[in-house]
Structure 1
């Protein structure tokens, strides 16, 4: 696990020393991602510079140093992540006559694969999480690539005519002359969902490379569109055409076998390794499969909280005792959790409003005292139906479909008018709650949007998941017609509603929120986090399974629970899903009130000119009065304001 950065200049043949200094400045912004080593590679004639920071995980010797050149000299690679099947590929390459390997790093195997099979075929053979920059010295081309599910980040774009790229935005911002203009349209998407979705970033002209794609730059003046090399949608389509037809027991056996193999591959490291354990289905399954393959107790880690309703540590301890792991738990106070907040803007580089980043950072900090690699259960919810919004959204969609289209439009206009009037009418809230199954008037606008804009279940999904509804509802100057990111709607033909929504989350919410959170929080502590559920072979099998194997009696993860039942008594697991959250709403009315008031002060908002002060202040006053809980709206605004002023 590491970090890299680089640039390709419009002007060629520049001074190599100045280029080296520039790229080192970019790479050193990623010291937390790679505290063990640093390196550069410069081709001044081509205008290309690569910088690297290394966190040594596999092959701790200097033979793992990057950027690394291939044995034949054609390719130069800067690589962040892990290719878990590198030992198998190494053996195959050796049988095919590859030159002798100097060390035993996966980086060297990747380069040999590029030389033997070409970048496209080699990429298809890699099992892992990665982002990389590959320079072809023969063709003078730069290829950027990202892993299939988006575990590792990669930003790129042009500034002043030059191409810049790197693992985090802070590296790009260190490029001499970089001027980042805030993209108000991307900001509006952030305010709606709490993260900036790929391919956008908070800066205009700078992009996130989407998962499972590559972009090949032959001319720095022309940056082509990314090209996919794998597709979850295609895997889902293949699963719809040829679904899993075995028995329930065969399905349980098959998923356990694949998960066990994925866990086994991801347990390979030359440094201490452990796992996050919340005591829920996903992390408990991963830890159980780890312990079944380990000759010694697996190191597991849990954070506990003092606040009632936010603590899962006791459940994790029970699972750890049953499995016999070497368990470490740390109870943190509310003050200790809140102390993380000032570091969030620098941690994420762009606005990010998932408050579970706080405990994720703390558990990563705890784990790093003992290990350098930690496995997690991320991806289980999206693959096996863990979120309650899947059946809830499907239920709303069934009700909406019963209404004729013209009636939906008329009713939408009426409800929109009621919502507008309710904001001006004291006491309307209690009356509206009797009129609408959505419980209160502040959700009438969502019901109006559902009736007026929903043509597919994905529309329902995004409207219900939105916080600040409407593209330009709070961001000044945002374009209401700004296109939604690709992959947000897949249309009919890809299975039933829960299946479609799981696929949507797999391609959007998972990489842009969950995996971004885990990557930044863990790497801020120089800890590598691995997610066995996201082995693409596990993903492909999960996408071929009928939803009847995932949902039973209104609950998700049926199949995964059957796997876990073989290792952990159900009584230790059965409880409502808690998530990994902190009491932001109460904090904003209490110890964070002064901090929030300063960031949301009306004059300040007007002077900055990004957020409309009127709706922001209205939400703030409603929250402080206790009339409504506006913690999500306010946290989105506060995380942008904190980032803007950092």
Structure 2
């Protein structure tokens, strides 16, 4: 796990200035890799690659990056882990390759030299973002892993290409103009995050999950970069899995899931540094921890966090699971002051405006965990693969109801109440009726601001997976469709973005066994009844967890993993929020229409509790904007 950055000046540039620039770009993301730094330049091409290393596998200098292939053709800067590098190494050794060390980077580089970038990516099982320079063809390849665990930004600035793991690296390029893109800001207000390929800065793009981009000097000089293309498609893989189906019984499915998850977990337990797991006490983190402990000769290190607000506190459940499994458990109980102290620093941690309030406990948990280990396994991905969100069930219920209602009744009730839909009751029902289809209902349920383009000055509505009919599988059940939409957007751009930024801010590597692509394709092949029955979510993972925990620790209500933002904005954060949302400031900065924001702020202070979700997105942007100064 590391950070990468680079720049390309077509036409060439002297090597000392390129190396100096590499240092500058790398320093901007030093938190991602405190163990080593490297910069490599091709002066004739005008290209520099920069790398910050967090050493996990092969701690020796043989894992240093950027790394040059044995045949001298390829140079790579790589962020991530290839979990099956041992098997790939053996295959390459049989073909005549020889290795200096035992890092996965060296294996990935040899695989690229042997098979090419796309074929090498397809053989690997892991998480990654990479920049690979082909010295023979004079082309640069940028790539991102299947499900989007690792980030990669890129863009043009005055005829120069600049790219990196975080926006901070791009902003370190001399002369880079950091101008806000209004369309992307509207997405932030709607979703709490900005999904790929969009970015808060004008002229910058995020490489989508499962995509690669091949660039040459002509494209950069023309200013017309080619569109990325998919080397792996989650939607295509889901369609194929649904068509293939799972023919066995539930007992067969349990056995197969057990085998798959055990292997996925074991692969992610390989490290040359201390390792542990996040443990909330929920189904997914408990299952990952149980599978770790079942394959470890020593107590696994586990870590949990709890708030003094009981609604968000799952620490007692985590402690009970840890006690039953026999892990070495470290809890952190956070009072409001510790969480509040973190708020001003969130914009620099998350790099791009980000407004999912679970960013706060996630960051605090990562800070605790990093004091003890360098790698932590998480339960991320279980909700999207195994029907884990209550909103899925509510959406299917409402969709079925809408299909039964006469059209005349729908016409009388339907209408768009705008932002009032967030408040529930008749307004929320009317908004759902007005959507007209399942995809519209899904979009409504993940939206904060319903009409953000009316609040952000100069914004146009951008299409996301929740708007694009082509993002729907077109096969399987309505439940499969809801999970597909979240896999395309919410999972990579919210959940995995949150974990990446929070963990890498303290140089902690987070690994997600449930997001092994083999587990994902198996989950997609299962009938919906093995994931959801009446009021029970994640049916199969819970049945599997019964093999490791007593039923009373498996079947419990889910508390969620957030922060009491509403209480804070009415209490200790009120002064800070008022300053951020002052009418004068909003008007002078020119990003927002002040009137609707001020109206919601006043209603919230008067007791309308649900408006805090609207306000948090605006506040996170306002705080982030201060970092541009």
Specify if TM > 0.5.
yes
Specify whether residues 139 and 599 from structure 1 end up closer, same or farther in structure 2 by C-alpha distance, changes over 3 A only.
same
Does structure 2 retain, via aligned residues, the 8 Å contact 1:151–1:516?
Answer: yes
Query: Counterpart of 2:58 in 1: which secondary structure?
Result: coil
Specify whether residues 487 and 125 from structure 1 end up closer, same or farther in structure 2 by C-alpha distance, changes over 3 A only.
farther
**Alignment partners' CA distance in 1, 2:474 and 2:155:** 35
Does structure 1 retain, via aligned residues, the 8 Å contact 2:6–2:47?
Answer: yes
Specify whether residues 409 and 351 from structure 1 end up closer, same or farther in structure 2 by C-alpha distance, changes over 3 A only.
farther
Does structure 2 retain, via aligned residues, the 8 Å contact 1:198–1:209?
Answer: yes
**Alignment partners' CA distance in 1, 2:160 and 2:620:** 30
Task: Tell me which of 137, 142, 146 is aligned to 1:148.
Answer: 146
Query: Counterpart of 1:22 in 2: which secondary structure?
Result: helix
**Alignment partners' CA distance in 1, 2:109 and 2:159:** 30
Query: 1:586-625 residue pairs with structure 2 within 5 A?
Result: 586-625=567-606
Runs of 4+ off more than 3 Å = 402-412, 436-441, 446-453, 482-489
Query: Counterpart of 1:478 in 2: which secondary structure?
Result: coil
> CA-to-partner distance for each residue in 1:189-214, whole Å, 9 max, x for gaps?
11011000111010122111000010
Map of 1:362 onto structure 2: 364
Specify whether residues 141 and 405 from structure 1 end up closer, same or farther in structure 2 by C-alpha distance, changes over 3 A only.
farther
Unaligned runs of 5+ in 2: none
**Alignment partners' CA distance in 2, 1:568 and 1:453:** 42
1:523 equivalent in alignment to 2:504: yes
> CA-to-partner distance for each residue in 1:508-535, whole Å, 9 max, x for gaps?
1011000000000001011000000111
> CA-to-partner distance for each residue in 1:617-642, whole Å, 9 max, x for gaps?
11111111113431101111110111
Number of equivalences: 622
Deviation at 1:95, TM superposition (A): 1.0
C-alpha RMSD of matched pairs (Å): 1.8
Map of 1:344 onto structure 2: 346
Does structure 1 retain, via aligned residues, the 8 Å contact 2:449–2:614?
Answer: yes
**Alignment partners' CA distance in 1, 2:409 and 2:211:** 42
Task: Tell me which of 613, 616, 625 is aligned to 1:635.
Answer: 616
1:175 equivalent in alignment to 2:139: no
1:451 equivalent in alignment to 2:433: yes
Query: 1:192-591 residue pairs with structure 2 within 5 A?
Result: 192-218=190-216, 219=218, 220=220, 221=222, 222-403=224-405, 408=410, 411-412=413-414, 415-416=415-416, 419=417, 439-440=424-425, 444=427, 446-454=428-436, 456-480=437-461, 482-484=462-464, 488-489=468-469, 490-491=471-472, 493-591=474-572
Does structure 1 retain, via aligned residues, the 8 Å contact 2:422–2:610?
Answer: no
Query: Counterpart of 2:625 in 1: which secondary structure?
Result: helix
Specify whether residues 57 and 139 from structure 1 end up closer, same or farther in structure 2 by C-alpha distance, changes over 3 A only.
same
Of stretches 152-161 and 486-495 in structure 1, the one that deviates more from structure 2 is: 486-495
Query: Counterpart of 2:130 in 1: which secondary structure?
Result: strand
Map of 1:114 onto structure 2: 112
Does structure 1 retain, via aligned residues, the 8 Å contact 2:275–2:301?
Answer: yes
Specify whether residues 191 and 157 from structure 1 end up closer, same or farther in structure 2 by C-alpha distance, changes over 3 A only.
same
Query: Which TM-score applies when normalising by structure 2?
Result: 0.96
Query: Counterpart of 2:76 in 1: which secondary structure?
Result: strand
Deviation at 1:593, TM superposition (A): 0.4
Specify whether residues 401 and 437 from structure 1 end up closer, same or farther in structure 2 by C-alpha distance, changes over 3 A only.
farther
Does structure 2 retain, via aligned residues, the 8 Å contact 1:587–1:593?
Answer: yes
1:86 equivalent in alignment to 2:67: no
1:4 equivalent in alignment to 2:4: yes
Query: Counterpart of 1:472 in 2: which secondary structure?
Result: helix
Deviation at 1:492, TM superposition (A): 6.1
Map of 1:61 onto structure 2: 60
Specify whether residues 536 and 522 from structure 1 end up closer, same or farther in structure 2 by C-alpha distance, changes over 3 A only.
same
Does structure 2 retain, via aligned residues, the 8 Å contact 1:252–1:559?
Answer: yes
> CA-to-partner distance for each residue in 1:131-176, whole Å, 9 max, x for gaps?
0000000000000000001000000111111111100000000011
Specify whether residues 410 and 181 from structure 1 end up closer, same or farther in structure 2 by C-alpha distance, changes over 3 A only.
farther
Query: Counterpart of 1:56 in 2: which secondary structure?
Result: coil
Specify whether residues 406 and 120 from structure 1 end up closer, same or farther in structure 2 by C-alpha distance, changes over 3 A only.
farther
Map of 1:426 onto structure 2: none
Query: Which TM-score applies when normalising by structure 1?
Result: 0.94
1:19 equivalent in alignment to 2:18: yes
Does structure 1 retain, via aligned residues, the 8 Å contact 2:128–2:145?
Answer: yes
Deviation at 1:24, TM superposition (A): 1.2
Query: Counterpart of 1:309 in 2: which secondary structure?
Result: helix
**Alignment partners' CA distance in 2, 1:352 and 1:438:** 22
1:137 equivalent in alignment to 2:135: yes
> CA-to-partner distance for each residue in 1:329-386, whole Å, 9 max, x for gaps?
1112110011111111001111100111111111111111110000000000000111
Does structure 2 retain, via aligned residues, the 8 Å contact 1:488–1:504?
Answer: no
**Alignment partners' CA distance in 2, 1:492 and 1:18:** 49
Specify whether residues 77 and 437 from structure 1 end up closer, same or farther in structure 2 by C-alpha distance, changes over 3 A only.
closer
Query: Counterpart of 1:484 in 2: which secondary structure?
Result: coil
**Alignment partners' CA distance in 1, 2:327 and 2:444:** 42
Deviation at 1:237, TM superposition (A): 1.0
Deviation at 1:232, TM superposition (A): 1.3
Task: Tell me which of 124, 127, 134 is aligned to 1:126.
Answer: 124
**Alignment partners' CA distance in 2, 1:138 and 1:393:** 53
Does structure 2 retain, via aligned residues, the 8 Å contact 1:374–1:527?
Answer: yes
Deviation at 1:465, TM superposition (A): 1.8
Does structure 2 retain, via aligned residues, the 8 Å contact 1:315–1:573?
Answer: no
Specify whether residues 598 and 211 from structure 1 end up closer, same or farther in structure 2 by C-alpha distance, changes over 3 A only.
same
Does structure 2 retain, via aligned residues, the 8 Å contact 1:23–1:175?
Answer: no
**Alignment partners' CA distance in 1, 2:553 and 2:473:** 39
Of stretches 251-260 and 567-576 in structure 1, the one that deviates more from structure 2 is: 567-576
Query: 1:40-59 residue pairs with structure 2 within 5 A?
Result: 40-59=39-58
Does structure 2 retain, via aligned residues, the 8 Å contact 1:185–1:478?
Answer: yes
Query: Counterpart of 2:128 in 1: which secondary structure?
Result: strand
Specify whether residues 60 and 488 from structure 1 end up closer, same or farther in structure 2 by C-alpha distance, changes over 3 A only.
farther
Does structure 1 retain, via aligned residues, the 8 Å contact 2:32–2:504?
Answer: yes
Unaligned runs of 5+ in 1: 424-435
Does structure 1 retain, via aligned residues, the 8 Å contact 2:442–2:466?
Answer: no
